Amino acid sequence: MLIHPEVQEALEAGRPVVALESTIISHGLPRPDNLRIAREIEQSVRDGGAVPATIAVVDGQARVGLDDAALERVANDPSVVKVSVRELAAVAARRGVGATTVASTAHLAARAGIGVFATGGLGGVHRGAAESWDESADLTTLSRTPVLVVCAGVKSILDVPATLERLETLNVGVLGYRTDRFPGFYLRDAGYGLDWRVDSPAEVAAVLRARTDLGTDRYGLVLANPIAPEDELDRDLHDTVLASGLKAAEHAGVRGKDVTPFLLDWFHRETHGASLAANVALVRGNATLAGEVAAAHATR
C-alpha cells in the first residue's frame, strides 16, 4: 500500500483527510468528463477543509491518494477493472489497474487510518435479490469497517427498504444530514424515514466521538446527505428512465457487478446528461460535507 506524501503528512499531524472511491471515476462517469470531474471532487474535499485521498490499485499497488498520472490511469486506462474487497489481492498480484468500490475503498481507507470517506451512492440490495442473491459487498464490508461514509443514500435502481433493513441488521447506523428522509441519490427522498437527523458537522463529530467511547466505531456509519433541491432530477423523468433501464438490463442479461455500471450509463444517455449533472453535483456536495466533518473531528 502506497500512501501519497501529502496524505501521509496530514495523517501523522492529525489533520483531516477524506478518502474517495475510484469506481465512480472508471465505471460511474462517462469519458472524457470523468477525469475533470475526479479532480473537481478532490477540490471539493479541499473546499471543505480536508486533504483528499482517492484510492485505487495502479500497476498492482494499492494507492491511497493519487497523483495526476495515477488519476489519469484510473480515468482512461482501458484495462481498469472494478474491484471489490475480494478482488484486491488478485489484481495486485497480476500488477493490474483496479478501481475500488465503496467496499474496497472503505477497507483500504481504514487500513491507512482514514476515518471519513465520501462517495455518490452506496451499493445495496438489488431488486430481485431474493432470487439472485445480489447484495453489494458494500453492506457487509461496512458492518466490520470503522469508517464514516458520506453518500446521497442509494439509487432507486436498488431495493431501498431491503437495503435499509440490511444496514440495521449489520449494525451500520444511518444519520440524515439536515433531513429525516432517506435520500434516493438523484432524488431527495427515496420514500423512507430516518430516525437520526444531524444538522451540522459538529453534531456528526460528536456522534463519532461517542462511537469511540462506546466501542461501536468498529462498524461503519452512513451519513446520508440529500442532493440539493436545485440539482434534483425531475421525478417523472427519473421514474420513466428507471423502468426502461431495469427492463433493458434484464433483456440484455446484465448480471452481477455489471448491473450498477449498466444502469448508470443508461440514465446518463436516456436523460441526455441531466442525470450526469445531478450525479456530479451530489458527489461534490458529499465531498465538501465529508471535508467539513473530517475537519470538525480532527484532533488538530
Q: How far is the CB of 101 from ligand PSU (least distance, A)?
A: 3
The C-alpha atoms of residue 23 and residue 81 are separated, in whole angstroms, by: 8
- The three grid cell numbers given for residue 249, joined into one nine-digit string: 438490463
The C-alpha atoms of residue 161 and residue 238 are separated, in whole angstroms, by: 18
Q: How far is the CB of 139 from ligand PSU (least distance, A)?
A: 9
- 3-class secondary structure per residue, 187-250: EEEEEEECCEEECCHHHHHHHHHHHHHHCCCCCCEEEECCCCHHHCCCHHHHHHHHHHHHHHHH
Residues at the interface with ligand PSU (CB under 6 A)? 21, 23-24, 28, 101-103, 120-121, 123, 136-138, 155, 185, 257, 260, 264
Q: In the complex with ligand PSU, which residue's Cβ is closer, 54 or 136?
A: 136
Q: In the complex with ligand PSU, which residue's Cβ is closer, 79 or 299?
A: 79
Q: Would the annotation count 200 as a binding residue?
A: no
Contact string 114-153 vs Mn ion (x = CB under 5 A): --------------------x-------------------
Kindly provide the b/e burial profile for residues 213-231, where b requires at least 16 CB atoms within 10 angstroms of the residue's own CB.
eeeebebbbbbbbbbeeeb
Residue type, 80: V
Q: Would the annotation count 257 as a binding residue?
A: no
Does 232 bind Mn ion (CB under 5 A)? Our answer is no
Q: Would the annotation count 247 as a binding residue?
A: no
Q: How far is the CB of 86 from Mn ion (least distance, A)?
A: 11
Q: Would the annotation count 82 as a binding residue?
A: yes
- Feature table: binding site for Mn(2+): 134
